Structure formats: structure tokens, C-alpha cells
Structure 1
Amino acid sequence: MASATQKKDGIGESIKTIVFALLIAGAFRTLFFQPFWIPSGSMKETLLIGDFLFVNKMAYGYSKYSCPFAICPISGRIFASEPERGDIVVFRHPTAGTDYIKRLIGLPGDRVQTRDGRLYLNDTMVPQEPAGDFSEPYAQQGPVQQFPRCENAPVGEGGTCLKSRTIETLPNDVSYPVLNIDNNGAADNTPVFTVPEGHFFFMGDNRDNSLDSRAPQAVGGVGMVPFDHLIGRARHVVFSSAGSSMLYFWTWRSDRFFVGLE
């Protein structure tokens, strides 16, 4: 029979093991990779609601936002590497304090504008090629059970929701699909934005369903994002579920497991 001392030692070792495991997990999350669930459709079709991915936190170096609750005692950014136009980036919203994921469009010094839904960089229209339609069921999606917006609205529940798809190619030859719903929204026709030094301009691939740098922070948008707010780069979808819970295995999208991102 174990003595009281042996029991105390066993409990102490168990506590130490749990503490060490938590410290290792915290260090891994802080220094290397952060898990991220896609909560909205702003990056369709590149990212779907319910996609699960790991964000590479080594990609751009480290800032205080690399730690949970922004507790890293870092001023500015250390081991910094410059992001590239077209990167899919997770960043901390400059005022709301939540994490967003968007595509990096504008670098410091760039002039960015949309006209009739088309993107202009430094006063030159970014080329797009028609690529058919993006199709999805008009049904509730994800944990918050949102219905998608459709170009062919109105669509009855269970019907086919369509959005026009084009392939957009940035000046550095990064290409990706862009979805369109209409060309009449405020974000389809914007003033010219000049990206300040040390900041970046982000947009969602689902252009008419994305709250991004086209709207200023004062009205609930993202505005310009400082470099130290960048958390990391997304490169692969690891897992994906179309249901309201990842436990509903019949809603898993097996064709999206370990899919690379462009």
C-alpha cells in the first residue's frame, strides 16, 4: 500500500507534468504555429467557413501580438521579415483587438483603389480573367449559421447560390480567385488610399462580403494595419467542417484536408 508521502509525491509529479505540458504548448503556440478557425465567408473561395489551419508565426518575426492577449514584452518587431503582396495573413485588428485573416494587397507607399469593383494598384488596373461561377448551397453555414450572399438572389433555402468568379493576378504574379456579388456597394468604388510607411492594406477575396482596409476603423472597418499587428502567414488548410460543430463528422470536407493555399 502506498504511503501518504508517496501519494503526495505522485500528485506533485502529476501537477508538474501538467504544468510542463501547458508551458510547452504555450511556447509552441507563441513561437511557431497558432491554430485558427475560419468564422466568416470573407475569403471564399480560398477559405471556407469551417476551415481549420495553422498560422506560421515565424514568417514575419515576432511582436507583442505574437503572444496570447498581446502580453509579449516586445517593442516593435524582432527577427522581422517583410510580408509579400498576396500573402494570406492573420493580424490583430488595430482597434477591436480581434484576429482577422485577409489577403495582403497594398505595401507601404502603394496607392490602392477600387472602381466598379475592380482593383487598381498605383493607378493601374490589376488584371482579372473570367473563371465561371462559384456555387454553393443557400444554407446556414458554420457555428453562427449564416446564410451566404448570392449574386443570383433571391434564392430559396436549399437552392444554388452563385457568385461570379475571376482570377486576379497581382504585379508579383500571385494569382487567386476573386468572387463578385454586385458592383454597387460602397467598397466597390473607393477613394485612393495611400498606404503609410510601416503599414499594410488588406482585402478579402470575397470582395462584396469582406470588412477590410477599404473601410476605416472609425466606421468599423480595418483601415491600415501596422506591421507589428501581423501575427503570421497561412499556408495550408489542415481540416474543414461544413457543419455547426467539428464533431459532426458527416459534414467534414475531406477534399479540403491538407490543402495548400495560394
Structure 2
Amino acid sequence: MSNFKRLIKGSTLRYIDQTDSKSFDFAMASFAIDDALSISVGNTESPPTVRLWVHEKTVVLGIADAKLPNMREAVAWLQQQGYRTVVRNSGGLAVVLDSGVLNISLILPDNQRLGIHEGYEMMVDFIQEIFSDLTSEIKAFEVKGSYCPGEYDLSIGGKKFAGISQRRVKHGVAVQIYLCVEGDGIKRAELIEEFYKIGTLGEKGRFDYPTIQPKTMASLTQLLDNQLTIDDVKDRIKHALKQLNSSIQIDGWSEQEEMTYQKRLEQMVDRNEKALGDLS
């Protein structure tokens, strides 16, 4: 049995769909929501939660990106291209979000049985499961030349379409993935390539920033030659969850979650003001 099925099967699951980017388009709020849910799940005030979200034209930066030698000019350039910028509270480097990128958060209690690698492998298993009828070639390894490279990059034929991060808050774990479902992966990579060219000015800086090779990245529609949409993938996710015989709970915020969310949002705003100044 896969990690995902073993950890989730038989559980009551909470399902939160925030993919309507027209009514929900504030990435700082998105990370604050995951923190609030992680705390709620960790305290057993909420069942394990699957959350889906989409944002229009946003570049999510890592903490290291905010320390680029020429950071202000690089961030200003992104904003001139029509992209919002936000420094996230989980690990990694710059990634592109837009209407063709689906973000999934799997939020579980950290009951000391879920190791870091196990959390990543759970998400890998889940993605392989929901696309199993289309391909058996989804692999997890670092794709050199991609943006935000990591050990658990997901690729088909060596071209990356997804990256995974993990955020642990108190007794909860949020395993987060961005899936490039629609659109042009090369164009997204070219955006980040130029961001780093401006941001580094040819200097090494304090961190080893990636040298982007745009052809290492693609969307699922490009890789599978299948006109998948965000809605198609959402349907696949729902089907996979139902196959686990789990009870699906769909409800709003509790009063405590709202209070925690507001506190975490204030922390995100403060983090971004410190990192980006008047560009936040």
C-alpha cells in the first residue's frame, strides 16, 4: 500500500476548494490558511485536510531570494511584468503561480510517525495515483536547470512539472505541491531565469542560486499531449479520495481557525515587509 493510502485510508477528510482565483487571489493569505489548518489538524480540532488553491500571476519567493545582491531591481522587474510577489514561510526558491498551476496541500497531524521523507513520498504517491491511467512515467528526483530544484521534483521524461515543499507548524504538517497543469512551462522558466539574471548581476551572492535552463520544464498538458484542465485534475483528486472510502467533510472556518489565521496573516505581512520593504 502506498504511503498516501496508508496514512489516509479510512480517515474522515476535510476538503477545501479555493481554486476560484478571482475571489481568492492573495498568496500571503494562502500560506496563513495552511498554517491555521496545520495547527487545527495538529490539535485534533480538524480531521486531515486536502486543500486546493490557485493564484493569478504570482511569483512566490524563498527566503534566500530576498537576499539576492540586486533583489530590489529583480522584484521590481517581476512586478513590471504584472506578477505579484510574496516571500513564503516554507523552504525553497522562486516558483511561478498562475491560472494554469494547481496547488495542493495535504495537511496531517504530526504524530511522530510522519518523517520528512515520508511526507514527501506521500505526495509523490498521491500524484502518481491520480494520473496512473495516463502515465506510469512520473519520477521524483532533482531536475537540474529547473527553478526551485529539489530532491522531490516531479518530472516525466526528465522535464519537471511539479515541486513539493513541506511546512511543519506545532503538531501539524502541510505537504504542499504546485502542479503545472496548463500553459507553457518554458515561458514560466524564462521568467525566473530573467529574475535571477537581474537579481545576481553575475555575482555568486550568499547562496547558490540555480542557473535556469527553461527547456527542463513543461506543463502536464505538454508532457502528456492531453488537454488537461484544472477542473479535470480536481475531478481526479475527488475520485482518488472517494476510492479510499473516506468520509469527506466540507465546511467553513471555525472561530478558533479564524483567529489563528488572522495572527498568521499578520506574521506573513510582517515577514514580507521586512524582506521586500515598499515592494511588498
Higher relative contact order (Cα pairs below 8 Å, separated by 6+ residues): 2
Q: Which has the higher strand share?
A: 1
Common topology (TM > 0.5): no
Q: Which TM-score bucket, shorter chain as reference?
A: under 0.3
The structure where helix makes up a greater share of residues is 2
Instruction: Give me the TM-score of the superposition, normalised by structure 1.
Output: 0.28
| Higher radius of gyration, 1 or 2 | 1
